[in-house]
Structure 1
Amino acid sequence: MKKFFTLFTILSAAFFTLLSTQTLRAQLSLTAIGTPATMNFNLGGSSNCSGAGNAWVNNATIPNCYSNMGSYAYSTGCNNTGALHVSGNGGETALGGRASNSTTLIIWGVRVVNNTGQAISALRIKYRGEQWNSALTNVTNTVAFSYSVSATPITNVTAGAYTNFPALNMSNLVSQGGCGGGGAAINGNQAGNFADISACLPVNIPAGSEIMLRWYETNDACNDHMLCIDDLEIIPLNNTLTIAPITGPNTVCAPDTGTYSVNAMAGVTYTWSALPAGASYIGGAPTGNQAQIDWAGTAPGTYPITVTPNGSFCGITLNPATINVTVQAPGPPVTISATDTTICNGQSVTLTSSDSTGNTWNTVPPQTTQSITVNTPGVYIVTSAAACGTSSDTITISSLNSPAINLGNDTIVCTPNINVVLDAQNAGATYLWQNSSTSQTFTATTPGTYYVEVTNLCGSNTDTIHIVLQNLPQVNLGVDSLICGPVMPFLLDAQNPGATYLWQDNSSNQTFTVTDSGTYYVAVSNVCGTGRDTIHIRHQLVPQVNLGSDTTVCVGTTFAMLLNAGFPDATYQWQDNSTNAVLPVTQPGTYYVEVSNDCGTAFDTLHVISITVPVVDLGSDTLICPGSPFTLNAASPGATYQWQDNSTNASYSDTVPGIYFVTVTNSCGSGSDTLVVSPFPAPVSDMKDTVLTCGITELLLDAKNPGADYFWSTNESTQTITVSETGEYWVEIQVCNTTIADSVSVEFTTTSNNPFNPPNTFSPNGDGMNDFYQVQGNFDNISNFSAMVYNRWGQMVYSSSDQNFQWNGEHGGHIVPGGVYYVVFRMRSECDEKDKEYNTTVTIFY
């Protein structure tokens, strides 16, 4: 005997089916009286008609399933005898067997546990019987049903007492073919090849006990029809069975309708109680387990609805069921405060629901406030939830930008008579054209400038179009040209922007760059035709000439040089009117040339200078204040310089007293000079306290300290002043930030003893005129005579004790610089008790 046993345990009222390839897992548990437990046999797998090729392990292949078979097969109805089969077509499968030519039975069963907590007195069992093979005609093949109840787990479908229950047997539905052909495979899922089998099984199953439901198939030789079971449903029953609960809405809002149901029991009809005023059963008074009630017109209140079963189910009397339904009056539908609205880009609008609570707006994310503010276009819906359901309202928000205008690109026309329609778009806006017309369109009949201002709720914009009358292109490349300059290119412009161009080299730009002499032409085309022009261009460089740097030659030497002014295609004019490109030079002088061609004239001059050995004169020795800057200049054209510190500039600057010397060298030799820079001595006061004039009418007062700054009581600021009145005279003397004061009392007498009148200028330049400084006068009564000359720095540059002296302007063998010099005469006259000093100035000119 071949056995198959499956334990099914459903852990809740729902049915669970777990599938995996070649593995069954199912459990079935009865959890409540009247609550069905179900299962199907969609076990997966694939066809295997060559034999049962899948290994079977008790309580492993399928939990709580047992069999003495070592294998099982998947089948689509093919001939595979003596095997347990999972038969199906696609994912929908059933469980059965084929016992043809088998020496044992094929048995399979479902183990069911009573977990209702009550004793079960009956089971209503229903399943689908499917046939997957058709064998010998007119032969009946039956799969028998039996059951066994036990207080302990049942793990064997052959041991123990089983009771047959033929009402749940299954027999074949069709037959054809024959034994020799092995029958024919058929699809058990197709109509006519399956039947629903159900029956009430009276059986006592104590709480916690088990019942084994089993099916077995005997050897039918070659007549097996491969019968299988599928879609099993088991309902536990006892005397507490009720049709309750009544399902359906227990709160309704008139005029809602409601659908109400009770548990359906096979063969049982139902009586539904009368309804309150205003309510009615849709379709008339029902007799089935379901009814539809229209609550329109029903006053608010709570109303009981009772359903009474007529008769029994599986021999068990059924109790009635009642539901209390509360009818509520609906409130007014929700509304949005605003109407469909248009907003401008960037603006917002506030939408307000008529309900203060329970609102849900269709924004992202949803908002639940009474009011929302939106700034984007769209359809906005508010849904308001209340006790009587929901209501909604919708508003459409449109957006509007300020007008966008495009009258088109500027247009060229070739005739003054036109008919161009300009459209400002933006339907619904207002319009103002250049002529104050207000239509959306404007017809231009002549070339010109046209503009429009378009205004809507969101603003205004304008646009302008130029309709330009254009003639045949007028091309003027210019007159034939000479291009002067060192650099080509030269740019030719065919003008007429927007036209097309074809130059002599097939280029097509508006401009053409000329890089060489030649003939250039262009054809310029526009919508009105083609214009042409030609130009001849000649290129020549502007003359340039460079005779070189000025040149020096030493006096008494001979030399020869060539001045070259050569330039292509030029003419020449030298200072001596010669016209060659080259001029020979053998004498010092100034040489210049004019070089000319069609592009202009260039000039250059060269000086050939005769020079001698440098004569250097740094000037007289000088005095400075501490830190005062001074500059010595030895500049001589074309010379080089070497100072006492080996510096080589033409001038030398410093702030330190000392001995400074320089050697100046040119191509003819060298010259040098030395200058002593000394610090100013501290100022001294040297005026007499009292002076008697002895008959002179003017007296020269000398503050000494040459080079100082002076401030006299007479407001004069020179080293010496001349006074002619008796009085007290004082002076402040400042030398290098040191200031002293001196004073003298002068008394003029009536006796004049001034023996001489010295000159105030001379020019020792060797021209034989006024070349010497000398004094003339009556010196008969003069003794102790001396004359001393000082430069402005207080340096004595000449002295003599001879009354007839003649000074030639030299000091140390050199002519002193021109300028003002201070002269001091000392002598004693008969008016004087001691030597007298006379101060004056002399100016040297050259």
Structure 2
Amino acid sequence: MSFKKTLLFFALFFTVSSYAQLPTAGLSAWYPFCGNVLDRSGNALDLILSGPTNTTDRFGLSNSAYSFNGNTTALTSLISRTPPMTDTGDFTYAAWFNADTTGNRIIIANGNINVDGCGIVTTGHNVAVAIGGVATYLPTYISFHQWHHAILRKSGVTYSFYLDTTIIGAFTTTLIPAPTSQKFAVGQDYTSGAKAFLGKIDDIAIYNRALTNAEIGNLYRYNPDVQTILGNNAAVCAGFSATLTPVIQYPGLSYLWSNGSTDTSIVADTMGSYWLNITRPFGCSSTDTITFTLGTVTVNIGRDTAVCTGDTFVLVPSAPAGSTYLWSTGDTTATLALTAPGTYSLLLNNFGCPGHDTMNFFYSPRPFVSLGPDISICSVSPLTLSSPYAYTTATYHWNTGAITQTIHPFTSGVYILRVLVDGCPASDTINVTIKPSPIVSFGPDRSLCQGNSIVLNAIASPTAVYTWSTGELNDTITAKNTGTFWLVVNDNGCIATDTFNLTVNPYPLIHLGPDISVCQGTPVVLKSTDVYVSPTYLWSTGATTAAINVTTSGSYTLSVTKFGCTSKDDINVTIKPNPIVNLGPDGYFCAGQTISLVSPQPAGATYIWSTGSTASGISISTSGLYGLVVTNNGCVASDSIRLDKIQVPAVNLGPDTLLCEGYAMQLAIDGDQATYRWSDGSTGTGYTVSHAGTVWVSITNVCGVATDTLQVAYRFCDIWMPNAFTPNGDGRNDVMRVLGTLGSYSDFKFAVFNRWGVNVFLTEDISKGWDGNYNNMEQAIGTYFYVMSCRLNGVEYNMKGSFELIR
């Protein structure tokens, strides 16, 4: 028989907003971005795409809006046309946008908004109106990553700005029409690529009139998209019939089916594919396809099955009601009883749709299980119960809860093993009697100290027989000598035995010697005179070494343990104190003074000074190192002190002097452990005289103060000294000498010194100079010092200074 099924498929789904109508009066251009930038108004004002890519719109439909990447390179993220839209009269510009970030960015611009155009832009976190490079009007806050609908409406000289149907405000201005050489641009400044938009833009509408508020609301709710859904592909049986019909129908939609029909629905009654294209006026179109194929019925007769030998098995298939059956055995019943191993299949027919399934049937042998005869054993004897055959896929279950092939019982009782192999069970039972065994345990071998003993015993039993290595027959013996002791106990046929080794050790000998008396600081080592191999030591101080160092008086005890046997000895140690000798820290004294050195000691002490004196104290008046050795009660101590004599300070700056202008004189003084103070407040050992006046210095140490004064006068001299010379034999500046008008000077002396104070040159001839050699050897490059003196008209002049030798 045949069975015909009729199917009804609901094809189309629209939201309520789809019923809003697009205002068409005055529509100059309409760009719903249905995967392209074509003008759907019928005016053929198509745009040019330069970079943006298709993306999802505010309804989540793909290829229904354009994504702009914010690239500021010209013509890389732009949709545009030339010339721009006319803006001489009233107009309305509208666009949906979804901004990703802040910044000054163009959404739409008619003409060059930097000069004479107008448009809708984002500024920071706002959207606003831009007019002719003059100003930005009516900025209002927007949320990023969210779709908004912006409208710029011009009525006369009044501009109104709407966001999501809410009027933001209005302003009045006169706009100069953009030249025809400019562009209508979306997403980017067409002149430079600046102000590039980052986000999505969709559904741009241009009107040559001012829309009403009601029309603005309709434009906001209008969805140009249409989505065709025919449902999933279907598997059907022979003789099917399916009606494909949209759920919602309203005027304006046009339909085109794959069979050429333009009706809202068609009937599909043959296998194959069917498609439907729906087009919306002034909007987009959508196509969907559904395919019908011959289906099959799902039937399941079960998985491959094995049963134990001797068991029966019935196949009960899972199949739809009303099906007919044909088994591989030729049977046509709904079930099939299996009595032999093999492969079984079922061919099923359910109203024209076939179904098929196959399974394999096996017999599994039952396992062999034998635990043997009942058994009686002693408790100490190991017992193993096990199935005699090992099966690869077997599972084991004992009545003890164990699941292993083998168990080891420790108590009397009945033990049952059940073995399951490939689902087939077998079992066996055995009675086990475990007799208690006697317990004999002497513990570990022991050692005793001489004179002690140990008791060895076993747990008493009235039925047990005891046999000792000593020949005794009781359950207890006492051992006090070195040897090996063993016991055998037989109780009702169960035997236990143990062996014990006893070692009796002597006490160690220990001797610390007689009591000791020594001076403080004398090493005292205490140790036993008897030596043993690997003993343990314990001193009364807590030390565990064989010897200890003693530094304080007292009684000391040593315990020595060997093989667990301990002996002790005591010794008294007296540490006598050393004399305390302290001559004090090193120091000094002034010339003319006498110093007394003493170190008081107890009565009976003896003294030896480094001067040879044996008195308790000495007096000194010269610098030196002085030492003292003191002996008291046989103990010796010593100390030493360094004393230096310091001279009373003295100073001499020399006679008053007259210097040439521009020259300085170096003064240097020295004192014994002294401090210095010059007339200018400086505190060094040297002083540089560079101007006329009185120079004084004060030298102070612990022994007194000394001062001196020097009068310095300056006059003009027409001689001078260079600050460097180059004795390299080139004939220029090879000699260091006095320069100037030299003929009027007498008593001339000129000396040169190196840094170590060595006089490397001396002359009394004013025309002579130093050539850089000393003892016929070239001197090192560096700083040298000179001293020059002479007379002019009977007045003595002195010059001191330094210069550089350069090669």
TM-score, normalised with respect to structure 1: 0.25
Bigger radius of gyration among the two: 1
Query: Greater RCO between the two (CA within 8 Å, min separation 6)?
Result: 2
